[in-house]
A and B are shown apart, each in its own frame.
Chain A
Amino acid sequence: MNGVTLTLRVLHHGEKHLARQLTAVAERHRTEHEVHHVATDLADWSRTHVQRLAATADRHGLDLGDSADTRLPGLLSTLREKASQAVVHRPEPGLLLLRDLRELHLGATENSLHWEMLAQAAQATKDDGLLDLASACHPATLRQMRWTNTMIKNLSPQILTSL
């Protein structure tokens, strides 16, 4: 395995993880409507990245396995949504929300750094296809970071001063 395939593998894992994490956060915070809807949209972005990474890896002779498997088991999803509805009138889930947004931000940041590495390796190896992939996907990862950062900035004053 060379550095490129290694980065592809790590990134594939990272995007798959972020897609799952975004979906889980969307469900856990069903009653935080903006978080729920936008996180669901952003999970789709990571899923697209996973598929494109798998296709590129394929061309590099690397099998990254089942890329479609980023959805969560149905029962768990329902549980998470019900749990969120049960505490709709409580302030404490606010702290959990801030923690979840922080984790999403860190997950996206990790992916962003790996996209950076992949783009650098692509340039060094003059691999245009790989560079195109990184150029196409990395901006979306940066937008995922910016969103989580904005939500933390907007929500934390109220959540942290009302406990």
Chain B
Amino acid sequence: MEASVDRIAQPWGARTPYGRHEPWPARVDTYLEEGVDPERVERWVQASSILHSDGDAMDIAVAGGRMVGVRGRAQDRVNHGRLGPKDLFAWQANASPDRLTRPLVRREGRLVECDWATAMERIVARSRDLLGERGPGSIGFYTTGQLFLEEYYTLAVLARAGIGTNHLDGNTRLCTSTAAEALKESFGCDGQPGSYDDVDHADVIALYGHNIAETQPVQWMRILDRLAGGDPPRLVCVDPRPTQVARKAAVHLAPRLGTNVALLNALLHEIIRTDRVNHDYIAAHTVGFEELAARVEECTPAWAAGICDVPAARIGEAAELLGTADRLLSTVLQGVYQAHQATAAAVQINNLHLIRGMLGRPGAGVLQMNGQPTAQNTRECGANGDLPGFRNWQNDSHVADLARVWNVDPKTIPHYAPPTHAMQMFRYAEQGSIRMLWISGTNPAVSLPELSRIRSILAQDRLFVVVQDLFLTETAQLADVVLPAATWGEKTGTFTNADRTVHLSDKAVEPPGEARPDLDIFLDYAARMDFRDKDGGPLITWHDPESAFEAWKRCSAGRPCDYTGLTYGKLRGASGIQWPCNDQAPDGTDRLYTDGISWAHPDVCETYGKDLATGAADDVVEYRSLNPDGKAMLKAAAYLRPHEEPTDEYPFQLTTGRTVYHFHTRTKTARAPQLNAAAPDVWVEASVSDAATLRLGEGDLVEVSTPRGAVQGRLRVTDIRPGLLFVPFHYGYWDTEAGHAPEGSTPGRAANETTVTDWDPVSKQPLFKTAAAALRLVERGDGSSAPAPTTTASAPAPASGTDAVPPVPPTTGGPSALVTQSADATWDSSEEETR
């Protein structure tokens, strides 16, 4: 089989059907720049995808010192050779002519080029001044989910033990903090229980607020291949949009925003009422069942129907599927994590698995997902508002152990309060107690809620802002110092996907100009700051990616995320490997909790837990009395009304989200021609009935407004839930005349102009998916359609009635989007042998 497929028109490519419990056949996707003959490729360099959390393994094609294409790695456990549209095309952004190639410093109000020594000395001078005058609490670091493990670990050491600040977090706060928190609340510790291989074995797959077709397209290919094969799984989809998942689901529930806890409590109610619970598992491995059963006793489907606006019968059907599944796989993402009562809802999904005993077996698992490629590493390295290695900041022996690894006094590591989360860091900067903010690999001037507020914080004279990035982003335009960073393909390091698979990503080409790897930048800063351990030796003893990885292994030893069995050599050439990987599990670990709950004991747990409504912290005494033997905890939660609900003035609910063709704030994907053309500008989705009521049509220019701000875009009429508006959050201002903010002839284009500053009090994840908004016509369309893809959740509703609406042209990529797909029988057969 070898075929050439337009992977913009067909984001998931051709089917390779397979039956339940069979291995997923390989399909190798290859894309080479136009005119590049495969024979001309000089080297294939091993890497993994940097544009989502799936961890698609790939090789980068190099010719003449340039990247010229990519090819999926057939032997890798994650993708079996497949690549998604972003994997296939976005690498082209690396060679954009507008890459940052020299450091910039602000002089007389303008950013001007300088050399590295000048830029770094300016940062060092300000750091020293602030440490002397105001102390370590005046310095904060806001990093990302897109650097490499070695870089996060180095940053965590220099921030927590070098500067001694509590203010280090990642933009993973926006994408994965609820996943981590939900796992901590249920299992005492972070760590993904399930495995992608569970897709091969499950008979029911439930996707909660998880548009997997667009966020992890390769795993969606896997589900599609199962749906096309023998004994296919049935899907349960909870999503207010008509996603591809919803279209394939046996049961699709489209609840009102902010009501996930009510819906989940009703599902739990039904499963308990019908006694489809595993009493032996509950007795052996959990605490809290009685309280959970009591909490959901009144939560009937009829009750939830009134809150969620979903038919009670449909809730019953979903509960029937979940309750009778032989092997249940659940996946969860932003529809839960970025919505009202985020952690409380995510925990109820863990509860459903625990009471059904659906954990730790092939096909029976939970995947609390994340969005970004290396978010897992931000979490485990302690660059995300936790201590490295899932250590418990409230447990003095954990802090002492970390201090031993770093050879510092435990008092050096702030642990009198939880590490500061990103939203609080921005508040401290607003209030003036944080005076230096070092932002690496993220673009808060587009991605954080309520952008007018974020811009006003970043623009303060008294706040010294350092931005380390590939491009002059909206955020970089507000910085005092801009550091040009090397990226994926230009540096070596490891990273870990959402199912704990560690991949090595090698350097393929040189970075442009003077751009440097993030690791080198952090090491340079640490050297200039002369950070020392308690014996006067250098605090940071490593000097390159591999030595940083070896240092991290020492920090991870004996922890849940144990990397001690991994080496660069072991990862090079082979498939990715799932942690924990150590002497006991030299080939890695498919699933956690195969034999009971292992990291919830009071002495080893990462957290003592929080109140699911208020976020109030429990202490060790409470934890020990609740859970002395370290079992999984069934934590119940009552439904609370959302903080912002529609009014006469703002009659719609508003949610923001993603499309398959873009990543984050488009810094890379908008610079890949095929991806940019597929979704070139912001749009607004509204339902057929709302559009009819307001007499709006496809392509009309509309404005969505909230008390915080407004955004304008062309309207796409879809089968979205009536009463709900959707705006993709990817678009900002760097490719407009205005530069970094709405101005003059550039109206609001970033969805976050409108979003509310409110976060889940447990995980501190901002709520991008629960707001109220107004919709109005700005200007009639000129007959052309909205710039929204037709292949995905933004597909237009089928034309109805007699309206002579011109059909929306389908999204295609044309010749430049043709990708070769080929079977790889070698790997299929060798894989079967190893099973």
Chain A residues at the B interface, C-beta cutoff of 8 Å: 31-34, 37-38, 40-42, 88-91, 93-94, 143-144, 146-147, 149-150, 153-154, 157-159, 161-162
**Binary contact track B403-437/A, C-beta < 8 Å → 1, others 0:** 00000000000101110100110011011110000
- How far is A106 from B640 in the complex, measured between Cα atoms in Å? 25
Q: Which residues of chain A come closer than 8 Å to B611, judged between CB atoms? A: 143, 146-147
- How far is A32 from B759 in the complex, measured between Cα atoms in Å? 11
Q: Which residues of chain A come closer than 8 Å to B617, judged between CB atoms? A: 146, 150, 153
User: Which of B428, B430, B618 makes the CB contact (< 8 A) with A158?
Assistant: B428
B460 at the interface (CB under 8 A from A): yes
Q: For the complex, would chain A's binding face be called helix, strand, loop or mixed by DSSP majority?
A: helix
B673 at the interface (CB under 8 A from A): no
Residues of B565-623 whose CB lies within 8 A of A = 611, 613-618
User: Which of A41, A89, A144, A154 makes the CB contact (< 8 A) with B430?
Assistant: A89
Q: Which of A147, A149, A150, A153 has the most CB of B within 10 A?
A: A150
Q: Which segment of B84-92, B131-139, B328-336, B545-553 sits at the interface? A: B131-139
User: Which of B417, B423, B616 makes the CB contact (< 8 A) with A146?
Assistant: B616
Residue in chain A with minimal CB distance to B135: A161
Q: Which residues of chain B come closer than 8 Å to A159, judged between CB atoms? A: 433
Q: Is the CB of B431 within 8 A of A89?
A: yes
Q: Which residues of chain A come closer than 8 Å to B616, judged between CB atoms? A: 143, 146-147, 149-150
User: Which of B424, B431, B640, B757 makes the CB contact (< 8 A) with A91?
Assistant: B431
B747 at the interface (CB under 8 A from A): no
- What is the distance, in angstroms, from A132's C-beta to the closest C-beta of chain B? 13
User: Which of A89, A93, A154 makes the CB contact (< 8 A) with B417?
Assistant: A154
- How far is A161 from B614 in the complex, measured between Cα atoms in Å? 26
Residue in chain A with minimal CB distance to B418: A154
Per CB-CB distance, the 9 closest pairs between chain A and chain B, nearest first, are A162-B433, A146-B616, A147-B614, A147-B616, A150-B616, A33-B757, A154-B417, A150-B617, A91-B432
Q: Is the CB of A89 within 8 A of B460?
A: yes
Q: Is the CB of B613 within 8 A of A143?
A: yes
Beyond A31-B430, A157-B414, 15 additional pairs, beta carbon < 8 A: A34-B423, A34-B759, A37-B643, A37-B758, A38-B761, A89-B432, A143-B611, A143-B614, A144-B614, A146-B614, A146-B618, A153-B417, A158-B420, A161-B137, A162-B428
Residue in chain A with minimal CB distance to B460: A89
- How far is A161 from B435 in the complex, measured between Cα atoms in Å? 13
Q: Which residues of chain B come closer than 8 Å to A162, judged between CB atoms? A: 134, 137-138, 428, 432-433
Q: Which residues of chain B come closer than 8 Å to A37, judged between CB atoms? A: 643, 758, 761
B166 at the interface (CB under 8 A from A): yes
Residue in chain B with minimal CB distance to A39: B614
- What is the distance, in angstroms, from A52's C-beta to the closest C-beta of chain B? 15
Q: Is the CB of B759 within 8 A of A94?
A: no
Q: Is the CB of B431 within 8 A of A94?
A: yes
Q: Is the CB of B134 within 8 A of A33?
A: no
**Sample (12) of A-B pairs whose CB atoms are under 8 Å apart:** A34-B423, A37-B643, A42-B614, A88-B431, A89-B431, A146-B611, A146-B618, A147-B614, A150-B615, A157-B137, A157-B417, A162-B432
Chain B residues at the A interface, C-beta cutoff of 8 Å: 134-135, 137-138, 166, 414, 416-418, 420, 423-424, 427-428, 430-433, 460, 611, 613-618, 640, 643, 757-759, 761, 764
Residue in chain B with minimal CB distance to A163: B433
- How far is A144 from B618 in the complex, measured between Cα atoms in Å? 13
- How far is A42 from B761 in the complex, measured between Cα atoms in Å? 12
Q: Which residues of chain A come closer than 8 Å to B414, judged between CB atoms? A: 157
Q: Is the CB of B640 within 8 A of A41?
A: yes
Given A41-B640, A153-B417, A162-B138, answer yes or no on A33-B615 (Cβ-Cβ < 8 Å): no
- What is the distance, in angstroms, from A145's C-beta to the closest C-beta of chain B? 8
Q: Which residues of chain B come closer than 8 Å to A149, judged between CB atoms? A: 616
Given A40-B643, A89-B460, A162-B134, answer yes or no on A33-B417 (Cβ-Cβ < 8 Å): no
Given A157-B137, A162-B137, A162-B138, answer yes or no on A38-B431 (Cβ-Cβ < 8 Å): no
Q: Which residues of chain B come closer than 8 Å to A146, judged between CB atoms? A: 611, 614, 616-618
Q: Which residues of chain B come closer than 8 Å to A34, judged between CB atoms? A: 423-424, 615, 759, 761, 764
- How far is A153 from B610 in the complex, measured between Cα atoms in Å? 14
- How far is A41 from B416 in the complex, measured between Cα atoms in Å? 27
- How far is A144 from B615 in the complex, measured between Cα atoms in Å? 11
- What is the distance, in angstroms, from A152's C-beta to the closest C-beta of chain B? 10
- How far is A42 from B764 in the complex, measured between Cα atoms in Å? 17
- How far is A143 from B458 in the complex, measured between Cα atoms in Å? 36
Q: Is the CB of A147 within 8 A of B427?
A: no
- How far is A161 from B414 in the complex, measured between Cα atoms in Å? 14
Given A147-B614, A150-B617, A153-B417, answer yes or no on A33-B761 (Cβ-Cβ < 8 Å): no
Q: Is the CB of B430 within 8 A of A91?
A: no
- How far is A147 from B616 in the complex, measured between Cα atoms in Å? 4
Q: Which residues of chain B come closer than 8 Å to A38, judged between CB atoms? A: 614-615, 761
Q: Which residues of chain A come closer than 8 Å to B640, judged between CB atoms? A: 41
- What is the distance, in angstroms, from A147's C-beta to the closest C-beta of chain B? 4
Residue in chain B with minimal CB distance to A42: B614
- How far is A157 from B135 in the complex, measured between Cα atoms in Å? 12
Q: Which residues of chain B come closer than 8 Å to A40, judged between CB atoms? A: 643
Residue in chain A with minimal CB distance to B462: A89
Q: Which residues of chain A come closer than 8 Å to B614, judged between CB atoms? A: 38, 41-42, 143-144, 146-147, 150
Q: Is the CB of A33 within 8 A of B137?
A: no
Q: Which residues of chain A come closer than 8 Å to B643, judged between CB atoms? A: 37, 40-41
Q: Which residues of chain A come closer than 8 Å to B759, judged between CB atoms? A: 33-34
Q: Is the CB of A147 within 8 A of B137?
A: no
Q: Is the CB of B615 within 8 A of A147?
A: yes
Q: Which residues of chain B come closer than 8 Å to A42, judged between CB atoms? A: 614
- What is the distance, in angstroms, from B612's C-beta to the closest C-beta of chain A? 10
- How far is A151 from B649 in the complex, measured between Cα atoms in Å? 34
Residue in chain A with minimal CB distance to B429: A89
Q: Which residues of chain B come closer than 8 Å to A143, judged between CB atoms? A: 611, 613-614, 616
User: Which of B137, B613, B757, B764 makes the CB contact (< 8 A) with A41?
Assistant: B613
Q: Which residues of chain B come closer than 8 Å to A89, judged between CB atoms? A: 430-432, 460
Residue in chain B with minimal CB distance to A144: B614
Q: Which of A32, A154, A159 has the most CB of B within 10 A?
A: A154
Residue in chain B with minimal CB distance to A154: B417
Q: Is the CB of A157 within 8 A of B431?
A: no
Q: Which residues of chain A come closer than 8 Å to B166, judged between CB atoms? A: 157
Q: Which residues of chain A come closer than 8 Å to B764, judged between CB atoms? A: 34
Q: Which residues of chain B come closer than 8 Å to A91, judged between CB atoms? A: 431-433
Given A41-B640, A154-B417, A161-B135, answer yes or no on A32-B427 (Cβ-Cβ < 8 Å): yes
Q: Is the CB of A33 within 8 A of B433?
A: no
Q: Which of B135, B428, B640 has the most CB of A within 10 A?
A: B428
Residue in chain B with minimal CB distance to A161: B137
Residue in chain B with minimal CB distance to A36: B758
